[in-house]
Amino acid sequence: MSTPWSKRFGWAGADGLVLVLALFPILWIVMLSLKKPADVTDGRFIPKTLSLDNFSNVFNENIFTKALLNSFGIAAIATVIAVVLAAMAAYAIARLNFPGKAVILGAALMIAMFPPISIVGPLYNMWRNLGLYDTWPGLIIPYLTFALPLAIYTLTTFFREIPWELEQAAQIDGATPFQAFRKVIVPLAAPGVATTAILVFIFCWNDFVFAVSLTSTSAAQTVPAALSQFSGASQFTAPYGSIAAAAVIVTIPIIILVLIFQRRIVAGLTAGAVKG
């Protein structure tokens, strides 16, 4: 109540500025995607006539629909495996006493800083020899590796905050170990696991280096890699309209995740960064 109006206006201005800066480039790509294919290169910000032609074009292109399926499948599988493996490791690190814990966290941190381009060459060579080049597992494996450090850090932070004594308390009250786990620990751990899964999914969905290096056809090419290979619907049309439409489509799942899980994502991103 006591906040002066000038201060309110100041913060409103700051809020507004952040919104504009954060959303303007997205607004531009949406506008571009809604132009008629013939108007895409006219240089206007707002389309002369609105049209969904770019979207229907892009959905008619096999390269895009297959890439969308690859992106979803690969990211989902990598997320499930990464979260399961990371949950096991994070449980051990948060709850058990064993030597080597610090080494594991240190190694995970090193891998998080590892330049992916440094292993692209060997992986390309190895995958060709092993028949993993241009396949789903060929991308899932490197995604796992680079997602695990993120997942282990985030989950360890969440697991450290779980009051594990409750499990024993439940057992004293007559619950079987399995009941104690299912009814007490799972509900407490679920938010952390969900947050980690979201962050890992965004990470896999975003990758470009591995996707462009380790795939070559629609068998495993994900959307970011397919986008860079787009050509126009015909020889005479530029691919920009299709690129814009595809860009909007792959951004929709991210916007949905952000709108639903804003708090969780913020908590997850900051979890690993501060000492708990």
Partner 1 sequence: MEAATAGTRAAAEAQPRKRGKISNRTKSERRLGWMLCAPAVIVMIAVTAYPILYSVYLSLLRADLRFPGDRAFIGVDNYVTVLGSSLWWADFFHTALIMVVSVSIELVFGMLLALVMHRAIFGRGLVRTASLIPYGIVTVVAAYAWLLAFSTPSGGFVPHVLGIQHDLVDQGHPVTSFLVVIAAEVWKTTPFMALLLLAGLALVPDELHEAAKVDGASAWQRFWRITVPLMKPAILVALLFRTLDAFRIFDSAFIIGQNGTNPKIETVSILGYNQLLNRLNLGLGSAVSVLIFLCVLVLAFFFIKVLGTERPGDAA
> Binding to partner 1 (CB under 8 A): which residues in 4-43?
7-8, 11-12, 14-15, 18-19, 21-23, 25-26, 28-29, 32, 40-43
Lookup result for tokens 């109540």: 1
**Residues contacting partner 1: total by CB under 8 A:** 112
The interface with partner 1 within residues 111-170 (CB under 8 A) comprises 111, 113-126, 141-142, 144-145, 148-149, 152-153, 156-157, 159-160, 162-165, 167-168
DSSP characters over 98-117: -TTHHHHHHHHHHHHT--TH
| DSSP-H helix ranges across 48-135 | 53-60, 62-95, 101-112, 117-130
Compute the distance between CA of residue 146 and CA of residue 269 in angstroms, rounded to an integer: 16
The interface with partner 1 within residues 52-111 (CB under 8 A) comprises 85-86, 88-89, 91-102, 104-111
Closer Cβ to partner 1, 65 or 209, answer by number: 209
| 48 touches partner 1 (CB under 8 A) | no
**Pick from 150, 197, 223, 233: which binds partner 1 (CB under 8 A)?**
223
Minimum separation from the CB atom of position 46 to partner 1 (A): 9
Asked if 189 and 181 touch (Cβ cutoff 8 Å), the reply is no
**Between the CA of residue 4 and those of 8, 14, 15, what are the distances in Å?**
7, 16, 17
How many other C-beta atoms lie within 10 A of the C-beta of residue 182? Answer: 12
Minimum separation from the CB atom of position 57 to partner 1 (A): 16
